[in-house]
Amino acid sequence: MRIICNVSIVEIIGTMQGVITKEDVFGALRGVFDPELGTDIVELGMVQDVEITPAGVVTLGIALTIAECPMRSQIEDDAVRKVSALRGVTDVHIDIRAMTQKQRSGVMERARKTARDNAEPTRIDPKTRVIAVGSGKGGVGKSSVSVNLAVGISDLGYRVGLLDADIWGFSIPRMLGTSERLEANDDKVIIPVRVHGIEVVSTGLIVESEETALMWRGLMLSKALEQFLHQVDWGELDYLIIDLPPGTGDIQMALSRLLPQAEMVVVTTPQKAAQKVAIRVADMARRSYMPVVGVIENMAGFVCNHGDRYDLFGSGGGRELADSIGVPLIGAIPLDAGVVEGGDSGNPVARFAPTSAAGTALNATAQRVVELVPPVEDETCTARIARLVEALEAQPV
Ligand SMILES: Nc1ncnc2c1ncn2[C@@H]1O[C@H](COP(=O)(O)OP(=O)(O)O)[C@@H](O)[C@H]1O
Ligand SMILES: [Mg+2]
């Protein structure tokens, strides 16, 4: 509950006499939270057109992010309750409306800012772009895409880290061909393993020995993500790619809490049936303020040696998903035996077979990711000013 101290004497006398001011109404509404966005509805700029009659009837508009917001009745009831409790209020009318696209992005920006301000500091450099790779289900090629994006972005000249957040089902060490163990330095800080020029951390690289054993013993594995962000010396990275476990579980929630700067790319197959699960991931990302950068369609068709194309897993699913969540389709990676071989031998196709069908597509996808989420240093002054103005405009008045 926020305490408003700049209340004038006139307002205090007014309140004593039971005359309600707009400030009173806003003050009461600061106690109404949007449970999904985690901030009060005033801060989020959802309260509009407050009117108070001399008889104490309060009418106000509440703009929800979407009209069918599942929290609608709770927000409405809370608002009525809080405002009715003000001395002098005789009746409350609430007009629920839906935000415009512009208002909605303003709210999301504010919610993200609040989340960022409240987040515990991690060892991830604030200048590092964090890209989480998510999918609705396993086996769609999320880890393969993560590894190849990491290598592909590194080949574009950027410093890249790869965090295997698939704590139970890690596959990154094999895909990069490393069996090195994570070591801790004298300050008990874990140093990532450097392989193919990228900084890698995975539970698959942990061994019960000496310092590392001391550090990990007794720690719940579910806390591993937190440890990876707080106890690993990631150094100065341009990009940190995070291979998420499939689905919309605890790790996704923890990630958005720990690293509010994280953005997500969603991997899906061309199959129509895969869209429903994938859409849930995108939805979850949005609810935890993780912007979705775009969709990557994997296993998109197979081109045989004769040049004929076979859509083994259907077609169009990636585009459909991208359109339905309003983000770009970042890339389409064909089915290519090279991906499997590269994954098994630890030599990712993006680097070791860059002219193969999948290698070409993966490198193009890496390039596109960098365009969509440009490295912080590369941002031009104009882009920075534009962002600043946008953020300022989004501030509540
Ligand atoms: N584009 C592709 N072409 C051929 N095989 C692929 C492709 N993408 C992934 N695979 C293979 O599919 C399997 C599952 O991929 P993986 O990256 O482990 O998926 P996930 O991390 O989503 O579970 C692996 O054997 C991988 O080599
Ligand atoms: Mg995986």
Q: The domain containing residue 341 runs over which residues? A: 123-393
How far apart CA 324 and CA 286 sit, in angstroms, is: 13
Q: What number does the ligand 1 atom closest to the CA of 336 have?
A: 3
- What residues does ligand 1 touch, defined as CB less than 6 Å away? 135, 138-144, 171, 298-299, 333, 335-336, 339-340, 343, 358
Compute the average pLDDT of residues 319-330.
Answer: 88
In this structure, is residue 349 part of a structural domain?
Answer: yes
Number of domain units in the chain:
2
Pocket test for ligand 1, best of 144, 303, 363 (most atoms within 8 A of CB): 144
Closest ligand 1 atom, residue 166 Cα = 21
Residue 59: which pLDDT band, with cuts at 50, 70 and 90?
very high
Is 292 a residue whose pLDDT tops 70?
yes
Domain boundary among 85, 115, 145: 115
Residue 243 above 60 pLDDT?
A: yes
Rg (CA), the chain: 25
Taken as a whole, the chain contains a residue count of 397
In the predicted structure, residue 55 carries a pLDDT above the cut 70: yes
**343/376 same-domain check:** yes
Nearest CA to ligand 1 atom 26: 340
Predicted confidence band of residue 267 (pLDDT cuts 50, 70, 90): very high
Where is 40: in which H helix or E strand?
strand 39-40
Q: How many CA atoms lie within 13 A of 356 on its CB side?
A: 21
What CATH number does the domain containing 70 carry?
3.30.300.130
C-alpha of residue 298 to centroid of ligand 1, in Å: 8
Q: What's the mean per-residue pLDDT of the chain?
A: 82
Please report, to the nearest 10 degrees, the dihedral formed by the alpha carbons of residues 162, 168, 169, 171 taken in order.
40
Out of 106-110, 214-218, 317-321, 343-347, the most confident range is 343-347
CATH number at residue 132: 3.40.50.300
Check residue 383 and give its pLDDT: 55
More confident residue, 86 or 96: 96
Say whether both 304 and 358 belong to one domain. Answer: yes
13 has pLDDT over 50: no
Give the number of the atom of ligand 1 that is nearest the alpha carbon of residue 138.
23
Higher pLDDT, 76 or 37: 76
Which of 63, 87, 115 corresponds to the end of one domain? 115
> Model pTM?
0.70
In the 8-state DSSP scheme, what is residue 235? -
User: Which of 33-37, 47-51, 184-188, 347-351 shows the lowest mean pLDDT across its residues?
Assistant: 33-37
Please tell me the distance from the alpha carbon of residue 266 to that of residue 371, in angstroms, as a whole number. 17
The answer to whether position 66 is within a domain reads yes
Element (H, E) at 254: helix 250-258
pLDDT in tens, 151-206: 999 999 999 999 999 887 889 999 999 989 888 888 889 999 999 999 999 988 88
Same domain, 311 and 248: yes
